[in-house]
Amino acid sequence: MLSREELVLRLFEIEAVKFGSFTLKSGIVSPVYVDLRVMISYPSLLKEVSELLWKKAEEANVQYKSLCGVPYTALPMATCISVDHDIPMLIRRKEAKDYGTKKKVEGNCEKDSVCLIIEDVVTTGSSVYETAEILEEAGVRVTDAIVLLDREQGGKANLCNKNITLHSVFTLTGVMKILVEKEKIKPNQLQEVKSFLAKNNSFKPSTIHRSLSFRERGMQKQTHPVARRLFDIMEQKQTNLCFSADVDNFAELLELADKIGQYICCIKTHVDIMEDFSAQNIKSLKELSVRHNFLIFEDRKFADIGNTVRSQYTGGIYKISDWCDITNAHSLPGPGIVSGLKSSLDDKSTRACLLIAEMSSQGNLADSKYKQSTVEMASEHGDFVIGFICTSKVSENPSHIHFTPGVKLINGVDGFGQKYLTPDEVIRRRGSDVIIVGRGITESANRIKTAKEFQEAGWMAYNRR
């Protein structure tokens, strides 16, 4: 086995770590460049590195059943560990297969068993997190990740925020200190890299809003009045449950709203599935929303050009904008959809919109770039957009509210690919704010008791995070 120093010198020799002036993909000029892909050309070094990664997990006493390398560079490392130590491996596909099973993970995903992630370099931690999300979708849990080199640009803190502990064999400055000692680089190069790392740190301490209460978030200057009302209701009634009342008649909807109104902060409707829509029925729902103090959210999922959605929002038989506090829209058509919707409102302080950043259904097309662009669109329209439909927290802005559908008391999938997560997973682990529950309540033999259970589970998860 090589010593740590010898290994660092070998990495330097094969130019896996280089110093100078490098223009990165982002356009930033960096004084350091790390590329561990070259290691596959040096099998004995690859074996040494893999052994170090395995030892790190042993030292940290991580308990795991399987391991998974983040594609592609860490794949051969994970394979070496798997073969040398007889540990089952999982492979995360970069793209889901578009034929056959559409699997994103290959290998035996034993439900709720822990999978250890192996990575070569961590910068922001996003690749590790993406891999963890996909593994968790496949049913295994991720608690820890082992990385050969931590670039010290916020990855450890970002992953910690997502409840993943990162253990690194080397830090970038640790590697550099060895190279300075061995006179391979100059001390001023170390200083230069240190100041580069300090300036380019992806961990934003603003993420402390995870610990801001709903009440405090409601009091932020930029929080929209509708969001403020919702935050207030949530704190007053101690509930972050939005009931998705997907029934087809108002007698049932009004009865449910009356019986479980005390447990919810919001009721979500699909007016176009109601068989007896009428202004009178909507008036009755409004009255119940006042009596029990909850908001009304019409899940219309607008998806057209601005001019069309404007008419769909205000006109037709439903006249949605007359009665719903919140509606939602896809960001796919671009910002014109938001401008179109809000242009019809005389008073923007009483109506608000959620943008759909992610969906709960399997195989949906919203990728991370789409999500990011949706968050940017929301930020540009803070006078109307108050948050997101998403499967985990997508925005660091404390005024934004995150609503997550696909919630039941146990994980699972329905017959059409709807994926279910638990209130604890959604609120505590994934940092969302509001659980949207439909069939979890409507299909229960005792809907009132079950609604109360969801309210308690959602609120407990909020208090625990």
# of chain residues touching ligand S5P (CB under 6 A) = 16
Site string for ligand S5P, 222-251 (x = CB under 6 A): ----------------------x-x-----
Site string for ligand S5P, 296-335 (x = CB under 6 A): ---x------------------------------------
Q: 380: which 2 tokens?
A: 């540009």
299 a catalytic residue: yes
State in angstroms the smallest separation of the CB of 437 from ligand S5P.
Answer: 5
**Choice among 258, 304, 319, 383 that is catalytic:** 304
438 appears as a binding residue in the annotation: yes
User: Smallest distance, Å, CB 393 to ligand S5P?
Assistant: 15
- Which residues are CB-neighbours of 208 under 8 A, at least 6 positions away? none
Residues belonging to the chain: 465
According to the annotation, is 291 in a ligand binding site?
no
For the chain, first and last CA: distance in Å? 43
Taking the least distance from each CB to ligand S5P, the nearer of 386 and 436 is 436
Rule CB under 6 A: say whether 418 interacts with ligand S5P. yes
Is 418 known as a binding-site position?
Answer: yes
Q: How far is the CB of 280 from ligand S5P (least distance, A)?
A: 24
- Is 142 an interacting residue with respect to ligand S5P (CB under 6 A)? no
Q: Out of 120, 299, 325, 433, which one is annotated catalytic? A: 299
Least gap, CB of 60 to ligand S5P (angstroms)? 37
At residue 345, φ and ψ (nearest 5 deg) are -95, 130
What span, in angstroms and rounded, lies between the C-alpha atoms of 32 and 18? 6
Q: Tell me the per-residue interface mask from 348 to 367 with ligand S5P, x by CB under 6 A, - otherwise.
A: -----------xxx------
Q: Which of the stretches 31-39, 61-69, 197-205, 433-441 binds ligand S5P when contact is defined by CB under 6 A?
A: 433-441
347 is in an annotated binding site: no
State yes or no: residue 440 binds ligand S5P (CB under 6 A).
yes
Candidates 154, 398, 405, 458: give the one binding ligand S5P (CB under 6 A): 405
Give the one residue of 31, 125, 306, 438 binding ligand S5P; rule: CB under 6 A: 438
| Six-digit token string for 344 | 């019809």
Residue 360 annotated as binding site: yes
Nearest to 43 by CA among 14, 3, 71: 14
Taking CB under 6 A as the rule, does residue 406 contact ligand S5P? yes
Residue with Cβ nearer ligand S5P (59 or 248):
248
Binding site residues for substrate, as ranges? Answer: 246, 268, 360, 418, 438-439
Binding residues vs ligand S5P (CB under 6 A):
244, 246, 270, 299, 359-361, 389, 405-406, 418, 436-440
Binding site residues, as ranges? Answer: 246, 268, 360, 418, 438-439
Active site residues: 299, 301, 304
